[in-house]
Every structure is written in structure tokens, then in C-alpha cells.
Amino acid sequence: MRGERERNSSNTGTGTGTAQRRIGYINAQTTSLQQIRPSLITWFLQRPHSIPFVLALFLFLAWISLRVQRAAHTLPRSSASDRRDAAASLVRFLPSRAAKDNRGWLFDPVALALASGLKGGAVTCASLHVGEIRPGKFRGNHRHHDSNETFLIWGAATRFRLENSEEDNGYAEVTLDRDEIAVAASPVHTAHALVNIDPIRSTFFIGCQDSIVNYNASTDFNVWKDL
């Protein structure tokens, strides 16, 4: 019995020693790999053939970033926002959704208004004007009694107001972001106003009217006193 216990004790000691040596070997290998891995990466990046790999990685990350930004720009608008835009007879979109090439965007605002279902705007341009609205200023705030009008608006954060008897305060009002483009329709006998609320940029707009406007005899000015 005593001899058997001694043999068991000897075997246990041998097993423990073997396990300890194995753990020590694994730890040494892990430490060695941790030391070698950074040096291998550094060595690889210093080689000329690493340049195409680094450029490809950079382009891939840039592509991912652009896809994320585009997805953020094309998030669906809420039904409440769509209702307000419809009440203001306006449709908005980002330049990425406009017909464009590497020179920028280009389209027919009257055709776009008709295609978007906006009603009451001009379908021909007997009178056409283009203008700028500087920060803190406004244009319009009047009502034409002899023409329908279609607007193209872009360039800055802008508030567009359109007379609408179905709204509680008698008008619908929406705010455009500085990167958005909008087409709006203002039917005859309907007041409208464009207000630049951007701290830096100018608002630009094109107004298309389907008849020559007589501003003295057929236009009501200063419709809203809060502008």
C-alpha cells in the first residue's frame, strides 16, 4: 500500500510538472506572437507592394461612408411632414434625386410641378423672374389676382408660406433645409411669401407666372403683418 501511494504521488507530481511546462510553453508562444504581430504589420506597410492594398482599403472605407451618408439623406419623411408640404402646395427633394451629371443638377420646374401633382401653378411662363433673398430678408407677402405662379427655391434654409383657408391660421408654412430644392405652386388669388432664415447663405428662386402681372392694379401687398 505504501509503495502504491508513493507511485501515485510520483505520477501526480510528474503530471503537474508536465502541465506547468505546457502552460509555460503556451504563454511563451503567445508572448512571442504578440511581439511578432506588430512587427509583421510594420514590415508589411513598409514594403512597396503594400501601397495598393492600403489604397484599396481606404477606397472601401470611403465607399462605406458615402453609402451611409446617402442612406441618411434619403430617409423617408413622416406623414405629418408630407401633409404640411401638400398643404403648402410644395414638393422638396435633395440634389441627389434631381436629374444631374458631374456639372450639377438641371430640370424643368414647371414639368416637375405637374409630374409631382401640384395644382394651381403656372403651366406656361408669360413672365419669368429670378431673384436672391439675403439672410433675414423676405420676398413676396403678396397675392396676385391675375396669374398662377410656380416657384423653384434653393440655396439656403427657407420658410415658404402659402395662403390656405383649410389651415387653422389661414396659411400653410413649411421650412426647407439649406441642401434641399423645392418646387411650389401658388394659384391665382393666393398669397405667398419666401423668408430666408439661414444665418449665412442666400436663398435663390425662380418665379414663373402664366400672365403678365399688373402689380399696381391686381396685386395685394403686405398680406401678413408678422413678416
The stretch 93-112 carries a mean pLDDT of: 79
pLDDT greater than 50 at residue 84: yes
Q: Each residue of 44-74: pLDDT tens digit?
A: 666 666 677 667 777 777 767 656 554 444 4
Say what the pLDDT of residue 74 is: 41
Q: Say if residue 148 is in the same domain as residue 101.
A: yes
User: What three-state secondary structure class fits 39?
Assistant: helix
Q: Say if residue 53 is in the same domain as residue 110.
A: no
Q: Which domain holds residue 169?
A: 79-221
pTM for this structure? 0.65
Q: Say if residue 114 is in the same domain as residue 62.
A: no
Say what the pLDDT of residue 194 is: 98
Winning range, highest mean pLDDT, from 4-13, 66-75, 134-143, 208-217: 134-143
Q: Say if residue 46 is in the same domain as residue 98.
A: no
Q: Say if residue 67 is in the same domain as residue 136.
A: no
The CATH number of residue 148's host domain is: 2.60.120.10
Q: Say if residue 58 is in the same domain as residue 93.
A: no
Q: 211 lies in a domain? A: yes
Residues sharing a CB contact under 8 Å with residue 151, sequence separation 6 or more, in sequence order: 109, 160, 182, 183, 184, 185, 186, 192, 194, 205, 206, 207, 208
Q: Say if residue 14 is in the same domain as residue 92.
A: no
pLDDT greater than 90 at residue 24: no
Q: 227 lies in a domain? A: no
User: What three-state secondary structure class fits 163?
Assistant: strand
> What are the angstrom distances between the C-alpha of 144 and each of 61, 91, 204, 224?
53, 21, 21, 14
The stretch 134-162 carries a mean pLDDT of: 96
Q: Say if residue 199 is in the same domain as residue 154.
A: yes
Q: How many domains does the chain have?
A: 2
Say what the pLDDT of residue 28 is: 52
Q: 161 lies in a domain? A: yes
Say what the pLDDT of residue 205 is: 97
How far apart are alpha carbons 167 and 190 in whole angstroms?
A: 13
Q: 53 lies in a domain? A: yes
Q: Say if residue 87 is in the same domain as residue 156.
A: yes
Residue ending a domain, choose from 73, 88, 106? 73
Q: 30 lies in a domain? A: yes
